[in-house]
């Protein structure tokens, strides 16, 4: 920001239920239109009134948006229709929304007031991802189980070894994604910085599928263990090997963007090896390797993927204090339906 110029304050609002990288990308674009990004989030009650109850509670939704690196301030429980009074109350110059129409229960454009006052700007909606699409992927997951003659809606651990190999299969783990990842998108989401000399480097690895509040709390705790946090993301076939069924629900590129949008993350390894290797530790000058309190699945040969950092005393088990899991989200969607 130059000299004495008054900082431009940008306003965004929404439900931000099941936050995905499309939401993050809209916030990234909004932030680029000004200096300070203020995000208003609707309460559970307000959303229920206009489009039915959200899947995630307001406390979870507020936390997820606070975790996105382009967000400076969050305003809780804002009204569904954006008013000039709201913009003025938070000293925002204009409001930004994606190029899709949002209406109230009565069919009124929620942005008609800010649009007519010319305090409205549009950003391009990210194609290929939406809450509806993600819910659809989860429901396909459950239908597949039903077809296999298991109890309907079970999300137990089973594994189809032909998954991803059968060209006639309708739901290989990445085929349901309509998102087209590009190198430009990754650059836009990246921090592009190296660790400073003397920085303590923390490494964590996982699936980070359907990036959720449990992941966010875990990454916050992991970041506190050092100065520079690197997150290794396993490939889709690797995640599928230990999770089974049609997991992961989000493919590797989508998971990369969700993790990069998190304010605690400095770097992502795209397709990290399942077991922590010496090459990886040396390459990134890793000082400490962390994992949460969730169970660690064995590697293909039955070994512990964290055997190496454990043997050299740089492994640390940390608590996110959060019991959310990807499986619980799938359960919630099914209940919600
Ligand atoms: N958004 C976007 N790209 C997407 C999905 C959402 O740019 N793929 C933007 C919306 O345009 C809006 C903001 O994210 O500016 C938050 O909107 P919200 O009300 O939470 O989302 P929805 O539009 O309902 O998104 P979804 O359909 O994914 O629930
Ligand atoms: O299950 P997944 O591989 O996505 O988990 C990534 C990391 O997040 C793991 O270290 C896991 O223990 C941690 N985590 C956590 N609390 C949760 C969910 C995941 O600490 N509720």
Within 10 angstroms of residue 107's Cβ, the number of other Cβ atoms is: 6
| pLDDT (0 to 100) of residue 21 | 97
| Predicted TM-score (pTM) of this structure | 0.91
Find out whether the beta carbon of 324 lies less than 6 Å from any atom of ligand 2. Answer: yes
Q: At which of 78, 96, 123 does a domain end?
A: 123
Is there a single domain that holds both residue 223 and residue 319? yes
pLDDT-derived band of residue 175, with 50, 70 and 90 as boundaries? low
Count CA atoms within 13 Å of residue 161 on its CB side.
0
Ligand 2 atom with the shortest distance to the CA of 294: 12
> Among residues 324, 318, 59, which one has the least CA distance to residue 202?
318
Q: Which ligand is nearest to the CA of 249?
A: 2
Does the pLDDT at position 163 exceed 70? Answer: no
Token pair, residue 195, equals 């660790």
| pLDDT (0 to 100) of residue 161 | 39
Is there a single domain that holds both residue 203 and residue 317? yes
Which range among 131-135, 209-213, 248-252, 265-269 shows the weakest confidence by mean pLDDT? 131-135
**Residue 269: beta bridge partners?**
232
| pLDDT (0 to 100) of residue 142 | 63
| pLDDT (0 to 100) of residue 146 | 39
What's phi and psi for 309, nearest 5 deg? -60, -25
Q: What would you report as the CA-atom Rg of the chain, rounded to the nearest whole angstrom? A: 21
Is residue 142 a part of any domain in this protein?
no
Question: How many angstroms is it from 225 CA to the middle of ligand 1?
Answer: 34
Is there a single domain that holds both residue 103 and residue 209? no
| Closest CA to ligand 1's atom 20 | 16
Assign 220 to helix, strand or coil: helix
pLDDT-derived band of residue 336, with 50, 70 and 90 as boundaries? confident
Per the model's pLDDT, the better-predicted residue between 313 and 144 turns out to be 313
What's phi and psi for 71, nearest 5 deg? -90, 125
Question: How many angstroms is it from 111 CA to the middle of ligand 2?
Answer: 38
> Among residues 20, 54, 70, 3, which one has the least CA distance to residue 212?
20
Q: What is the ipTM of this complex?
A: 0.91
Q: At which of 101, 123, 145 does a domain end?
A: 123
Q: Write the CB contacts of 227 (distance below 8 Å, at least 6 apart in sequence).
A: 195, 196, 199, 200, 201
Question: Which range marks the domain in which residue 113 is found?
Answer: 9-123
Q: How far apart are CA 68 and CA 127, in angstroms?
A: 20
Is there a single domain that holds both residue 216 and residue 284? yes
Does the pLDDT at position 289 exceed 60? Answer: yes
Ligand 1 atom with the shortest distance to the CA of 98: 11
Domain containing residue 218: CATH number:
3.40.50.620
Which strands make up the sheet holding 315-317, listed edge to edge?
Answer: 267-270, 228-233, 201-206, 288-291, 315-317
The count of structural domains within the chain is 2
Does the pLDDT at position 171 exceed 50? Answer: no
Does the pLDDT at position 138 exceed 90? Answer: no
Which range among 112-116, 131-135, 280-284 shows the weakest confidence by mean pLDDT? 131-135
Q: How far apart are CA 276 and CA 287, in angstroms?
A: 13
Pocket of ligand 1 (CB under 6 A): 14-16, 22-23, 25-26, 97-98, 100, 125-126, 129-132
Q: Which ligand is nearest to the CA of 297?
A: 2
Is residue 213 a part of any domain in this protein?
yes
Is there a single domain that holds both residue 87 and residue 186? no
Question: How many angstroms is it from 275 CA to the middle of ligand 2?
Answer: 16
**pLDDT tens digits for range 231-287:** 999 999 999 999 988 899 999 999 999 999 999 999 999 999 999 999 999 999 999
Is residue 262 a part of any domain in this protein?
yes
Per the model's pLDDT, the better-predicted residue between 178 and 229 turns out to be 229
Return mean pLDDT, the chain.
Answer: 90
Find out whether the beta carbon of 248 lies less than 6 Å from any atom of ligand 2. Answer: no
Ligand 2 atom with the shortest distance to the CA of 291: 10
Question: How many angstroms is it from 191 CA to the middle of ligand 2?
Answer: 23
Is residue 335 a part of any domain in this protein?
no
Question: Contact, 10 vs 93, CB < 8 A?
Answer: yes
| pLDDT (0 to 100) of residue 165 | 40
Is residue 59 a part of any domain in this protein?
yes
Per the model's pLDDT, the better-predicted residue between 38 and 101 turns out to be 38
**pLDDT tens digits for range 307-335:** 999 999 999 999 999 999 999 999 998 88
| pLDDT (0 to 100) of residue 149 | 36
- In whole angstroms, how far apart are CA 193 and each of 65, 109, 147, 304, 325? 23, 41, 48, 31, 30
Q: Which ligand is nearest to the CA of 28?
A: 1
Q: How far apart are CA 167 and CA 177, in angstroms?
A: 16
| pLDDT (0 to 100) of residue 1 | 53
Is there a single domain that holds both residue 117 and residue 203? no
- In whole angstroms, how far apart are CA 215 and each of 62, 83, 93, 205? 15, 34, 33, 11
| Percent of the chain's residues with pLDDT above 70 | 89
Average pLDDT score over residue span 134-160:
54
Residues 236, 242, 243: CA angle, nearest 5 degrees: 75
Neighbour-count burial of 189, counting CB atoms closer than 10 A to its CB (0-12 exposed, 13-18 middle, 19+ buried) = buried
Q: At which of 123, 158, 193 does a domain end?
A: 123
| Closest CA to ligand 1's atom 7 | 125
Does the pLDDT at position 15 exceed 70? Answer: yes
């Amino acid at each position: 920001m130059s000299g004495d110029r008054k900082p431009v304050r940008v306003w965004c609002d929404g439900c931000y239920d099941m936050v995905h990288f499309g939401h993050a990308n809209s916030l990234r674009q909004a932030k680029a239109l000004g200096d300070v990004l203020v995000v208003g989030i609707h309460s559970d009650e307000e959303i229920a009134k206009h489009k039915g109850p959200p899947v995630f509670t307001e406390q979870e939704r507020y936390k997820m948006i606070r975790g996105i690196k382009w967000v400076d301030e969050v305003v809780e429980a804002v009204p569904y229709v954006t008013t000039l009074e709201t913009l003025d109350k938070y000293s925002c110059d204009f409001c930004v929304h994606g190029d899709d129409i949002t209406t109230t229960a009565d069919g009124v454009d929620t942005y008609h007031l800010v649009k007519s006052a010319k305090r409205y700007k549009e950003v391009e909606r990210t194609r290929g991802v939406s809450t509806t699409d993600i819910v659809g992927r989860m429901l396909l997951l459950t239908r597949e189980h039903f077809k296999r003659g298991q109890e309907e809606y079970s999300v137990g651990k089973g594994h189809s070894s032909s998954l991803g190999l059968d060209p006639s299969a309708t739901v290989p783990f990445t085929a349901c994604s309509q998102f087209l990842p590009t190198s430009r998108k990754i650059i836009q989401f990246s921090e592009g910085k190296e660790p400073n000399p003397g920085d303590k480097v923390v490494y964590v690895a996982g699936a980070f599928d359907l990036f959720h509040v449990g992941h966010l709390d875990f990454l916050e705790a992991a970041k506190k263990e050092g100065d520079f946090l690197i997150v290794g993301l396993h490939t889709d076939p690797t995640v599928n090997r230990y999770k089974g069924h049609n997991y992961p629900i989000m493919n590797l590129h989508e998971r990369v963007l969700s993790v990069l949008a998190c304010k605690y993350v400095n770097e992502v390894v795209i397709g990290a090896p399942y077991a922590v290797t010496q090459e990886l530790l040396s390459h990134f000058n890793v000082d400490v390797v962390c994992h949460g309190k969730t169970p660690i699945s064995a590697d293909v040969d039955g070994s512990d993927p964290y055997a190496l950092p454990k043997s050299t005393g740089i492994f640390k088990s940390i608590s996110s204090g959060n019991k959310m899991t990807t499986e619980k989200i799938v359960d919630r969607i099914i209940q919600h339906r």
